[in-house]
Amino acid sequence: MLLSPLRDALQALRSRKVSARALNLDELHLLEKQGNLLRPGALVLAGPGFDPTRVHGNRFSGRVVLSGEVYASSLSDVELGPDVVVEHCPSLRRLTVGARSLVRNSTVDCTATTNFGAGTVIRAGLETPGREIRIWDGMTLEAGEQYLSDPILRAQVGKLAKSLFFDRSVLCDDVQVIDSSGIDQVFLGPGTSARGVLRMENCTTLSSMEEPVRLGPGVQLRDTILQWGCEVDSSAQINSSILLEHSGSERQALVSESLIGPNSIVGGGEVTACFLGPFVGFHHQSLLIAAWWPEGRGNVGYGANIGSNHTSRSPDQELWAGEGTFFGLATAVKFPANFQDAPYTILASGVVTLPQRLALPFSLLLDEPLDTAETRGLNRVVPGWVLRENVYLLLRNEAKYQARNRARRHSFDLRIFRPEIVEKLWKARVLLANIEGKPVYTKADIAAVGKNYMLEEDRREALATYREFLRYAALKLFAEQELDGVPCDAEWLRGLFRRINLDYFSLEQNLVAYLEEERRIWTASLRAKERDDHRGAVIIPDYETFHRPAEEDDFLLNKREGLDQLLEKIRRKVPTIS
């Protein structure tokens, strides 16, 4: 059975017995004396903890169960739980409110039977029909990918969506709805806070007291599901989408027909028909359309235009982004594009890419025209540049993601040098090693370069860099298995050692070699940061006054401390090491 906290909550509501009694004459007279108006046909009942002295200046119609404090509001067919506070609400209708909730200066309704956004269709990585996914409240990234190829799962989701229809809006326990209008057909989970919401229609928040959902001023939501810990603020608009746990949107962002993965934030730009994985940084005015990016962990810079409708072509093309792809300032990516075999690649500022499939990991794409007949209009690709020149960025991001991961229902392997990335690195090295003899290479020479050109000097440096980091990755995976118990397929790892001509030495030799590799990586990271410091000081007069030098960088200090801890781990494993 599919995970669905919404289904469980609605089943409990359907089967519950409301503890309510009729009001006596004294209570009715007191309500009238305190300015309350019961419209013809109204049935007002006393719920748990009802106190008529706390009900003033209201209008009641339909069936109303009173509890808590109710002031200057209009209620029609409403059930209030214990210790609820309702103040200055122009209209509350067809609504169930849980214990200790606060509804102030807001309108909440249920104008039609609803399933609170479950079953809404998103277009995952493709604007036109063909890759539709129906969302549900307990959805995960893995289940979203599985949906496309699993007819049984699709049938289960369709059945679940039909079972969730309900005829009332629901505010669970400890919900706050303040200064919000147009709240219609909603299920707000425990601890949800909605302040200044402009519109919310056919939506679910899977909130909890430990992981509350927070909605801020000017927000507009329609046909949308927000999972645990999500935050939507500052006039963001979200339509027909799902935000997985601890993701969010802010700063007037527009999100439609998309899945936003855990720990990803969309701010200030537009995301349409996308399937985004974890830790995607999207904090500026940019465009991302029709992107299939389940691995996430990348960044979209200011002014980036990544979308199928920025050309004259029909919107039936798409982008498959690679893990950790960094789309720089004002980049433009022409579709179709596939960077999945080029993880942790950086598109430098202003780069305009042609439709292509790039398969060289950790590359840099530069807008550096080379005026020859075969390279005219192409960008320059520098394979392995990120490893060689900016490993500081990679390892800092890896540590940052591990520290900031708040997802409880997803399990991510946030290591950069894990087997699937290592295999892509190996494959690229083999491709580069099998060509030589030209000053410049294009797709006609090696398909992996995509619609770019590669210089011979860049090829040679990439071969050395790839080999260097394949050695590092092999020793790291070996050490993680021996020291920390992180599982790794033994046959695959031995095969990797053989492929890179690294003898499978003794436990002691391999661990010592790994320690030396980590020290080398730390030194490379330090030098990368020092280069940035030097450049900044040359350009900005007071740079050194307001920027921490490399020797005080928090990441580098932690990394250096980690080297000492690694040495101690190795000594405990192999006491003979000095």
- At residue 162, the pLDDT reads 96
- At residue 578, the pLDDT reads 66
Cβ burial, residue 124 (10 Å; 0-12/13-18/19+) = buried
> Mean pLDDT throughout 180-188?
97
Q: Is 129 helix (H, G, I), strand (E, B) or coil?
A: coil
Q: With bands split at pLDDT 50, 70 and 90, how would you rate the model's confidence at 503?
A: confident
- At residue 19, the pLDDT reads 86
Q: Is the pLDDT at 520 greater than 60, yes or no?
A: yes
Residue with tokens 């520290």: 403
- At residue 529, the pLDDT reads 87
Q: Cis peptide leading into 343, omega within 30 of 0?
A: no
Encode pLDDT of 13-41 as tens digits.
999 887 899 999 999 999 999 999 999 99
Contacts of residue 244, defined as CB under 8 A and 6 or more positions apart, other chains included, come to 139, 140, 141, 227, 259, 260, 261, 262, 407, 410
> Mean pLDDT throughout 137-162?
97
- At residue 575, the pLDDT reads 83
Encode pLDDT of 280-291 as tens digits.
999 889 999 999
The separation between the first and the last C-alpha atoms of the chain, rounded to the nearest angstrom, is 55
Average model confidence (pLDDT) across the chain: 94
- At residue 313, the pLDDT reads 60
Q: With bands split at pLDDT 50, 70 and 90, how would you rate the model's confidence at 276?
A: very high
From residue 121, how far is each of 133, 153, 318, 408 by CA, in Å? 6, 15, 18, 25
Q: With bands split at pLDDT 50, 70 and 90, how would you rate the model's confidence at 151?
A: very high
Count Cβ atoms below 10 Å from residue 506 Cβ, excluding itself: 10
- At residue 130, the pLDDT reads 86
Residue 173 in contact with residue 98, Cβ under 8 Å? yes
Residue with tokens 């809404």: 120
Name the pTM for this structure: 0.95
CA distance 525 to 545: 22
Q: Is the pLDDT at 385 greater than 90, yes or no?
A: yes
- Domains annotated for the chain, with CATH where assigned, are 12-105 (2.160.10), 456-573 (no CATH)
- At residue 312, the pLDDT reads 61
Residue 377 in contact with residue 453, Cβ under 8 Å? no
> Mean pLDDT throughout 9-15?
94
Q: Are strands 132-134 and 176-178 parallel, antiparallel or unpaired?
A: unpaired
CA distance 4 to 115: 12
Residue 449 in contact with residue 358, Cβ under 8 Å? yes
Encode pLDDT of 216-243 as tens digits.
999 999 999 999 999 999 999 999 999 9
**By 3-state DSSP, what share of the chain in percent is helix, strand and coil, each rounded to 5?**
30, 25, 45
> Mean pLDDT throughout 445-466?
97
> Mean pLDDT throughout 450-464?
97
Residue 275 in contact with residue 257, Cβ under 8 Å? no
| DSSP character at residue 23 | P
- At residue 577, the pLDDT reads 74
From residue 73, how far is each of 79, 107, 171 by CA, in Å? 14, 10, 17
Encode pLDDT of 310-325 as tens digits.
556 666 789 999 999 9
CA distance 393 to 387: 9
- At residue 108, the pLDDT reads 98
DSSP string for 503-536? ----HHHHHHHHHHHHHHHHHHHHHHHHHHHHHH
Instruction: Please report, rounded to a whole number, the percentage of residues in the chain having pLDDT higher than 90.
Output: 84
- At residue 17, the pLDDT reads 82
Amino acid at 560: R
Q: What is the dihedral of CA 24, 30, 34, 36, to 10 degrees?
A: 20
User: 308: number of CA atoms within 13 Å, CB side?
Assistant: 22
Encode pLDDT of 401-449 as tens digits.
999 999 999 999 999 999 999 999 999 999 999 998 899 999 999 999 9
From residue 413, how far is each of 132, 172, 248, 417, 427 by CA, in Å? 27, 34, 22, 10, 21
H or E stretch covering 94 = strand 91-97
Q: Which two tokens stand for residue 304?
A: 């980036």
- At residue 311, the pLDDT reads 54
Lowest mean pLDDT among 48-62, 496-510, 551-565: 496-510
User: How far does Cα 419 stand from its chain's mean position?
Assistant: 23
